[in-house]
Each structure stands twice: as structure tokens, then as C-alpha cells.
């Protein structure tokens, strides 16, 4: 086969076409690469049904702080064991309504019972000694009075005899010696009368002193009996007030621990608290508020307490000066009627109203927003299908709302739920669309 020579002009045109084609292909590939590199990734899809949306509003926003707590009685009577003893019976159990004379615990102590018996014996002995002394002193006074009366009778007789002797002596009918002897006898009897009267007066003073001493011993013995009887009576522990028996507990803190429940057979020392009686109609709420939130709480601020069966209005009445485990206890005095089922130690939610802002923009508090900070939030489109990231400046925060200073307007809808998984994206799609916006 014979080779045919090709025209050089044709070969040259063919090479030019190939070069042009190669250049065009390179330019197209480069353009496609640049275009593709400049394309943004498609927005990620988020389940619109799981989104928590919130709408920006204008109006009055009340700044609040919230805490968990319990209802506690205002009046609590801790009942101690006045005397030591062993628990014999526990007639009533916690939760029972009690009257002042209701017996809560019966104790037994043989030593105290013996002390009462000894005191009663001493009292009887002292009373017998007093009675015997009175009889003795009365007998002595009678003897002295009898002696005085006899001496006075003798003196009267001697005086008459002496007077008669003086008359007879003047007539010479009696010897002078006899007359003087009778006169001396009468004088001696008179002195005996004076002495007996002095002795009788002295006996009255002495008797009074002896009786006072004996009566003091009786009084002392009576006091001993009363003391012993009081100790015996104290073995019967009574409520003392009308109320509700909250607990039978030997804890020293005044709060039930559940580990020191009083049991029959236990020995209780004097002064140990064995029971607590409360007034169930007089309750307050003790709310534990985070120490970062409590700095603006003040006594007198309005509050509300949710018992899960009704909300009761109230006011802050006390703020504990100490912080425990990151919280501060705030007492709320309840002003309204307690709902049915309210009782001591019932778990409640408390809200304290700190401050009222009028005519401000606010929105529901987002899961990630802090007061007085700037955060990025997804603003939901009017059709609820997309969300665009915007920067929002936040102000004061409440329990469920937060003030909007910049970045949003009245009527805007934003995502309040956690969107941290979308931090790398400025736009998201909702499928299905967010229903609350439509």
C-alpha cells in the first residue's frame, strides 16, 4: 500500500484545533473548580417539631428568681424529757392531732419512784415531829401556868397571914419572930410569881422558835415531795399544746433524721428532745435560691409559692445570712389561704419578684443565654421553614423571660432551645416547618 502525503496546511490547522480544544477544556475545568469551591454547603436540616420557639414581645416584664423548697411550720414545740427514764409505751404516732394533755411517751425510772417514796416518808416524819413538839410545848406551858397559879394562891394566903400578924403584933398577941417569918414567906412567894411570869413569857418566845424550826423542816420535806412528784409526773411526756405530732425523734438538731426514731425500751437522758408538735395551719415556705441570684432579694419583696395544688401569694420575711451548698435559704410568709393537702415538709416551688420593667422588649429565656450578654440566636423566617443566625444583646433576666436590648424586634420568632450542635452554621432549615410561627 502506497502512503499518500498530506497537505502541510491541513496538518497545521489540525494542530491549532487541538490546542484550542485543550485550552477550552482547561478553562472549563478551571471555571467549574472555582464555581464549586465558592459554593456554600447546603443548610443542615433540623426537626421543626423539636424546636422550642419564642416570640419577642413588648410590655411589662417582672424579673424573678426561682428556687425549690418546703413548707415548714412557724410554731414548733420541741418537747424534751425532763427526767431520765426508759421508754415504756408510745401511745400516739407522728401525724396524730394532739391536745395539751395528750400523752406522747411514757417513761419509767425506779430511782425516781424511790425518791418520791423517801420524800413522802421524810415528810411524814417531819409532820410527826412537829405534832409531838406542839404537844410537848403545850404541856410545858400548862405546867408553868399551873405552877404560877399555885404560887399566886400561896402568895395570897401568905399576904393575908402577914397582914394579920402585923395587927396581932401591934396588940402583943403574936411574937415578932413569927410575924417577920410570915412576912418573909409572903415576900418570897411574890418573887416566885414574878419569876414564873418571866419564865412563861420566855417559854412563849422559845416555843415559837422551836415551832418555826420544826415547821421549816416540814416545809422542806413538802418541797422535796413536790419535786419528787414533779419528776414522777415528768415521766409522762405530754404534748403541752394543741397541734399535730410531727415526729418522735431523739435527734439533737431539731430536724427529723429518720435514724433516731424513738423506740420502746430506749433509755432517754434528761433534756433530750423526744417529740415535736407543730401548728399545721401556720406554715411558711423555706425556699433555697442560688447564691448568684439571691443578691438582689430583699425582705418585703412579693413572692408566690406553688404547692402543686395551688399558688399561694406571700412576701419575703427572712434571708439566711449563710450559704450552704451554693444556695441561700429565703423564708416566705404566706398571705393567702393554704390549698388542700398543704402540710409540713411538703415540697414546693417558690418565685420571688425582684424588679418590674415597664415597656421593654423581652422574649422567653433561651437555654444558652445569660443576663447582660450578647449571644447568637436563630431568627425563624415568617414561613417557619428556615432560621438565620443573628446577634442579640440581652439585658436583665427573669425565671422564664429575658430582656432584649438589640438585635430583635416585636413579633420576631427565635429558637430558644439549645442549638449548640449548629454552631458552625449561620442558617438552618426546619422540616417540618415550625408550627408556632404559622
Query: Do 225 and 290 share a domain, yes or no?
Result: no
Q: What is the pLDDT of residues 284-327, one digit of tens each?
A: 999 999 998 898 899 999 999 999 999 999 999 999 999 999 99
Q: What is the end-to-end Cα distance of the chain in Å, rounded?
A: 83
Query: For 39-53, 287-301, 353-367, which range has the lowest pLDDT when averaged over its residues?
Result: 39-53
Query: Do 336 and 370 share a domain, yes or no?
Result: no
Answer whether residue 91 is part of any domain: yes
Which secondary structure element, helix H or strand E, spans residue 11, and what is its range? helix 8-38
Cα dihedral angle (212, 218, 221, 227), rounded to 10 degrees?
A: -90
Q: What is the pLDDT of residues 49-75, one digit of tens each?
A: 888 999 999 999 999 999 999 999 998
Query: Do 226 and 245 share a domain, yes or no?
Result: no
Answer whether residue 68 is part of any domain: no
- Residue ending a domain, among 322, 338, 356, is 356
Q: Which position has the grid cell 432549615?
A: 429
Q: Which CATH number belongs to the domain containing residue 313 in this structure?
A: 2.40.30.170
Answer whether residue 21 is part of any domain: no
CB environment 101-125: b (16+ within 10 A), e (fewer): ebebbbbebeebeebbeebbebbee
Query: Do 84 and 132 share a domain, yes or no?
Result: no
Give the 3-state secondary structure of residue 191.
Answer: helix
Which residues, at least 6 apart from 26, have a Cβ–Cβ distance to it below 8 Å?
none
Query: Do 371 and 403 share a domain, yes or no?
Result: yes
Query: For 91-95, 208-212, 353-357, which range has the lowest pLDDT when averaged over its residues?
Result: 208-212
Answer whether residue 361 is part of any domain: yes
Phi then psi dihedrals of residue 317, to 5 deg: -115, -20
Q: Which domain holds residue 141?
A: 111-234
Q: Which CATH number belongs to the domain containing residue 135 in this structure?
A: 1.10.287.1490
Report cis status (omega within 30 of 0) of the bond before 434. Answer: no
Query: Do 306 and 219 share a domain, yes or no?
Result: no
Q: What is the pLDDT of residues 319-352, one digit of tens each?
A: 999 999 999 999 999 998 889 888 888 999 999 9
Query: Do 122 and 229 share a domain, yes or no?
Result: yes
Sign, CA dihedral 361-362-368-371, equals positive
Answer whether residue 264 is part of any domain: yes
Answer whether residue 70 is part of any domain: no
Q: Which CATH number belongs to the domain containing residue 88 in this structure?
A: 2.40.50.100
Domains: count for the chain: 4
**pLDDT over 50 at 254, yes or no:** no
The answer to whether 56 and 412 have CB atoms below 8 angstroms apart is yes
**pLDDT over 70 at 266, yes or no:** yes
Within 10 Å of residue 205's Cβ, how many Cβ atoms? Answer: 9
Query: Do 116 and 197 share a domain, yes or no?
Result: yes
Query: Do 376 and 406 share a domain, yes or no?
Result: yes
Answer whether residue 382 is part of any domain: yes
Smallest CA-to-CA distance from 301 within 338, 335, 327, 324 is with 335
Q: Which CATH number belongs to the domain containing residue 372 in this structure?
A: 2.40.420
The CA distance from 83 to 232, in Å, is: 8
How much is the pLDDT for 174? Answer: 66
Smallest CA-to-CA distance from 278 within 11, 132, 74 is with 74
- Return the percent helix, strand and coil in the chain, to nearest 5: 35, 30, 30
The answer to whether 397 and 370 have CB atoms below 8 angstroms apart is yes
Query: For 61-70, 96-105, 111-120, 427-436, which range has the lowest pLDDT when averaged over its residues?
Result: 427-436
How distant, in Å, are the alpha carbons of 16, 37, 182, 344, 405 from that of 30?
21, 10, 175, 79, 48
**pLDDT over 50 at 1, yes or no:** no
Residue range 196-215: average pLDDT? 81
Query: Do 52 and 115 share a domain, yes or no?
Result: no
How much is the pLDDT for 253? Answer: 46
Q: In the structure, what pLDDT confidence band is assigned to residue 249 with cuts at 50, 70 and 90?
A: confident
How much is the pLDDT for 43? Answer: 81
Query: Do 269 and 240 share a domain, yes or no?
Result: yes
What pTM does this model have?
0.59
Helix spans in 99-175 (H): 110-171
The CA distance from 1 to 338, in Å, is: 118
Query: Do 103 and 117 share a domain, yes or no?
Result: no
- Residue ending a domain, among 226, 261, 278, is 278
Q: What is the pLDDT of residues 397-424, one digit of tens each?
A: 888 899 999 999 999 999 999 988 888 8
Answer whether residue 15 is part of any domain: no
Amino acid at each position: 500500500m502506497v502512503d499518500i502525503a498530506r497537505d502541510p496546511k491541513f496538518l497545521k490547522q489540525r494542530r491549532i484545533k487541538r490546542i484550542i480544544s485543550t485550552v477550552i477544556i482547561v478553562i472549563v475545568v478551571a471555571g467549574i473548580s472555582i464555581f464549586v469551591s465558592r459554593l456554600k454547603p447546603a443548610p443542615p436540616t433540623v426537626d421543626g417539631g423539636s424546636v422550642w420557639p419564642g416570640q419577642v414581645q413588648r410590655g411589662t416584664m417582672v424579673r424573678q428568681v426561682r428556687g425549690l423548697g418546703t413548707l415548714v411550720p412557724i410554731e414548733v414545740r420541741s418537747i424534751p424529757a425532763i427526767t431520765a427514764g426508759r421508754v415504756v409505751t408510745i401511745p400516739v404516732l407522728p401525724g396524730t392531732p394532739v391536745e395539751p394533755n395528750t400523752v406522747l411517751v411514757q417513761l419509767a425510772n425506779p430511782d425516781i419512784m424511790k425518791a418520791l417514796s423517801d420524800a413522802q416518808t421524810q415528810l411524814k416524819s417531819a409532820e410527826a415531829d412537829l405534832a409531838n413538839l406542839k404537844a410537848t410545848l403545850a404541856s410545858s406551858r400548862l405546867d408553868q401556868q399551873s405552877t404560877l397559879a399555885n404560887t399566886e394562891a400561896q402568895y395570897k394566903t401568905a399576904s393575908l397571914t402577914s397582914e394579920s400578924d402585923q395587927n396581932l403584933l401591934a396588940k402583943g398577941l403574936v411574937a415578932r419572930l413569927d410575924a417577920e417569918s410570915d412576912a418573909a414567906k409572903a415576900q418570897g412567894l411574890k418573887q416566885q410569881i414574878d419569876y414564873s411570869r418571866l419564865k412563861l413569857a420566855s417559854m412563849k418566845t422559845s416555843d415559837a422558835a422551836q415551832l418555826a424550826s420544826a415547821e421549816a423542816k416540814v416545809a422542806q420535806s413538802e418541797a422535796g415531795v413536790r419535786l419528787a412528784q414533779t419528776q414522777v409526773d415528768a415521766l409522762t411526756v405530754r404534748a403541752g399544746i394543741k397541734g399535730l405530732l410531727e415526729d418522735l425523734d431523739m435527734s439533737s438538731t431539731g430536724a427529723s433524721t429518720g435514724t433516731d426514731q424513738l423506740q420502746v425500751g430506749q433509755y432517754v437522758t434528761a433534756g433530750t428532745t423526744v417529740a415535736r408538735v407543730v401548728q399545721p395551719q401556720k406554715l411558711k415556705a423555706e425556699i433555697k435560691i442560688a447564691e448568684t441570684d439571691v443578691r438582689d432579694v430583699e425582705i418585703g419583696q412579693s413572692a408566690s409559692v406553688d404547692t402543686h395544688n395551688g399558688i399561694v401569694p406571700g412576701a419575703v420575711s427572712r434571708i439566711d445570712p449563710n450559704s450552704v451548698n451554693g444556695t441561700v435559704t429565703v423564708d416566705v410568709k404566706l398571705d393567702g389561704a393554704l390549698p388542700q393537702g398543704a402540710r409540713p415538709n411538703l415540697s414546693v416551688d417558690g418565685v420571688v419578684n425582684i424588679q418590674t420593667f415597664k415597656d421593654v422588649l423581652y422574649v422567653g429565656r433561651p437555654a444558652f443565654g445569660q443576663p447582660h450578654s450578647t449571644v447568637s440566636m436563630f431568627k425563624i423566617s415568617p414561613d417557619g421553614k428556615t432560621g438565620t443566625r443573628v446577634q442579640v444583646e440581652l439585658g436583665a433576666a427573669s425565671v422564664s423571660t429575658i430582656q432584649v436590648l438589640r438585635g430583635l424586634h416585636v413579633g420576631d420568632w427565635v429558637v430558644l432551645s439549645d442549638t449548640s450542635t449548629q454552631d458552625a452554621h449561620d442558617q438552618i432549615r426546619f422540616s417540618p416547618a415550625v408550627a408556632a410561627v404559622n
